[in-house]
Structure formats: C-alpha cells, structure tokens
Amino acid sequence: MFHFKNPHSSASWPAILSLVLLVAGGCGPDSVREEQKLSEDRASAEPLPLEISPGEVKALLDGQADFFLLDCREAEEHAAASIAGAALLPMSEIQGRVAELEPHRGRHVVVHCHLGGRSMQVTQWLREQGFDRVQSMAGGIAAWSEEIDPSVPTY
C-alpha cells in the first residue's frame, strides 16, 4: 500500500487511502447489478394502481405471471359466467373468510366482479387489511366478455 503524507502533517494516510479504494471498488459491475436489483425491489414496492384493465389481466394470464385472480361475485353469478383460473370468494363472505387469502398476501391479486363496483370495494378493503398488491379489474367480467373473450356469457 502506498503511504501519502499530509503536507500539513507528518502522518501518513493509509487509512484514508483504504477508504477511498473501498468506495471506488463499489463502482464495478457487481455494484451496478446490486443497484439494479435495489431499483427493481423499490419498483415492486411502489403501490399498484387501484385498477387494472382486462387487457392487462389477459397479458398476465398469457404470460403465466404469478398472480391470483379472485372472483368476488356470488356463486350463482360465477356459475353463469367465469374466467378460467379465477377463484370464487364472494364479497358477502370475504370478511369471514379472509384467512383463506393469507397465502396470497404478498402476491399480486386481481379482483373481479360483474361490472367493477364490488371488486373495487373488495380491493380497497383488502388494502386496508395489509394486502398491498391488490387491484380491481376495471369493468368486471362484462368488460372481459366484451374486450377479451366473447364466449363468456353476459348477464
């Protein structure tokens, strides 16, 4: 190690040089990758918008994204029309059955209903319960049928 002298002192500066080299060493490719990872973590920690479009949900399904699709309509509505892969948990029962959603607390959850009103209420309630990554599908299953899959019956 080089020893630099302070012109105003007879002491050498090996400790300062070590610190400078340590800081400078944090500028390499590994540090860039670590900073990118931190940026991605910060981005995923940012709150999601309250709503997501049916097209965005379709893209998540097509891309096999890790998310949970929750149908908050009543059983009769679900029987009449449904989106493949959606789990039914009616809004009328959600407070008493919220423990069933606990395994999905950290995941992206998309809630849908008939037209988007109930799913927005469920989304806001779940966020109040600490489910931070919940979104309501805008327009509900009616918009899904109109925009994505016309084979899904409307009612």
Active site residues: 113
CA distances from 108 to 25, 82, 86, 96, 105 (A): 37, 20, 13, 21, 8
Complete DSSP assignment for 1-37: ----B-TT-S-B-HHHHHHHHHHHHTTSHHHHHHHHH
Contact 145, 115 (CB under 8 A): no
How many alpha carbons lie under 13 Å from residue 126 in its C-beta half-sphere? 32
- Amino acid, single-letter form, for residue 141: I
Contact 110, 69 (CB under 8 A): yes
